Amino acid sequence: MVVSVLVLVLGCVAPEASVEPSSARDSAPQPATPDSGRAPPPAVPLPLDAVDLDPADDVVHVELVADEATFTIGDLQVQGYAYNGQVPGPTIRARRGDTIVVELVNQLDVDTTIHWHGLHVPWAMDGVTWMSAPVAPGERFTYTFELDQAGTYWYHPHFDTQHQVDAGLYGAFVVLDPDDPPVDRDLVFVFDSWLEADDPHAHHGIDGADLEWTANGAAGGALALAAGEVVRARLLNASNTGYLDLRWDDIRHVGSDQGLRSALGTPDRLLLAPGDRADVEWLVGAEFSVLNHPYSLAGGVALGGPELVLSIASDGGPAPDGAAWPFDGAPPSPDPGHADIVYVLQGDPLEDAWFINGEQFPEVTIAEVDLDEDIVIEVRNLSASEHPFHLHGHAFEVLSRDEVPVTEREVEDNINVPIQGSLRLAVRADNPGDWMTHCHVLPHADGGMMTVLRVGEPSEP
């Protein structure tokens, strides 16, 4: 069992943020309830260092060294992998319009790559090994591309993905929009799940109750903020298989996978499937807790009680309204009621064999569309598991769920498809190349639930 040693980890902390020291407990696991009277967490080094942005320089350079690493989750020692010795890897920050230059240094003894999840990169920079070679041990590769989007993205290997991401290779990639309203604090929380077992890499069961969640590498972290601050927090679910079903009071959901939403969302829960991001915002008032409810990808609610994943303390005061965000109020595009491409998801959980249209990657039929064609993709889930559907190199707009048109514009690159559910998604195929499209439950992708969408003329990357 993972013992709930409490550590505090936070992203991008400004000097006035307070971190209360305390002694770590090494007793039996404590029930994770918001009122369990936990001791304040000890201070630990901040893992999510931001790249300093030079206002005069629109080229951002980052070096990411992939290497083996030993780190701790609770009292568990994990023999894993890390970028620059930290899990999560460094948060990359840049502005829309900047050019990013990332030097990957592979110090692992296996091949690896980096994929830029959600970003519209040129195909040759996408980090997939469909037609290009991975980066061999001891080698380097320079990824470079221009950022024409703003929002919360992430990066991870796309080679032996299930294993390498699970081992700790992932990080957040924040693209700031110069037009976004200013906030006092722009935080990143990267969530991952670990099995409460001696082998943290053992396959997760479909029951969500056996997972221990960490935010920025820490279980049950706490963060103290000054009342009156406007905080934007970027949440990323980097888990291979675990769904986050987060609840807290007065959530203001301001951004999804592809930047700001068209309208403010005030949901009573936030479901983040593997690969999903959500930006939330609040004006710091009274303290509050973020709870995660066990969630099974075999159909939702699972056994077990909620787990405290984060608590936010403040120096008091009522919670006033948050900052005004410049939502554009754009209505959703109409659902034409039919699709150009249909992906049917099926699988055999016992065999870990997963199919799109009856095929298993890499033995797949390539769907082809013209460059700059507007297409509709329909995804139908006929399996006994939920699947987060992800498309590389493009964003998509959700048109309908189960044939019912959505009422609010939603632009994503990763979206959960419930059991027996169907989604219609609009895609402008404006990025030429052979793009992977797959389930982001990584054992499902590695088990075959991945195919290729070819945009434009086929060519070598």
Binding site for Cu ion (CB under 5 A): 387, 439, 441, 444
Partners of 443 in the beta sheet? none
- Residue 392 engages ligand C2O in binding (rule: CB under 6 A): yes
- Residue 158 engages ligand C2O in binding (rule: CB under 6 A): yes
Which of residues 38 and 158 has its CB atom nearest to ligand C2O in the complex?
158
Considering only residues 85-124, where is the footprint of ligand C2O by CB under 6 A? Answer: 115, 117
Q: What is the DSSP-derived secondary structure letter of residue 28?
A: S
Which of residues 293 and 438 has its CB atom nearest to Cu ion in the complex?
438
Minimum gap (Å) between residue 440 Cβ and ligand C2O: 6
Distance in angstroms (rounded) separating the CA atoms of residues 174 and 176: 6
Distance in angstroms (rounded) separating the CA atoms of residues 444 and 433: 23
Contact 278, 290 (CB under 8 A): no
Which of residues 219 and 445 has its CB atom nearest to Cu ion in the complex?
445
Which of 234, 387, 394, 438 touches ligand C2O by CB under 6 A? 438
Contact 78, 71 (CB under 8 A): yes
Q: What is the DSSP-derived secondary structure letter of residue 443?
A: H
Minimum gap (Å) between residue 228 Cβ and Cu ion: 43
Contact 294, 304 (CB under 8 A): yes
Partners of 438 in the beta sheet? 390, 450
Minimum gap (Å) between residue 270 Cβ and ligand C2O: 19
Distance in angstroms (rounded) separating the CA atoms of residues 186 and 171: 16
- Residue 436 engages ligand C2O in binding (rule: CB under 6 A): yes
Distance in angstroms (rounded) separating the CA atoms of residues 431 and 126: 11
Quick check: helix, strand or coil at residue 243? coil
Distance in angstroms (rounded) separating the CA atoms of residues 300 and 192: 18
Q: Using CB under 6 A, which of the segments 66-74, 141-149, 404-412, 435-443 binds ligand C2O?
A: 435-443
Among Cu ion, ligand C2O, none, partner that 158 touches (CB below 5 to 8 angstroms by kind): ligand C2O
- Residue 390 engages ligand C2O in binding (rule: CB under 6 A): yes
Which of 80, 171, 275, 388 touches ligand C2O by CB under 6 A? 275
Among ligand C2O, Cu ion, none, partner that 163 touches (CB below 5 to 8 angstroms by kind): none
Write out the residues near ligand C2O by the rule CB under 6 A: 115, 117, 156, 158, 275, 390, 392, 436, 438, 440
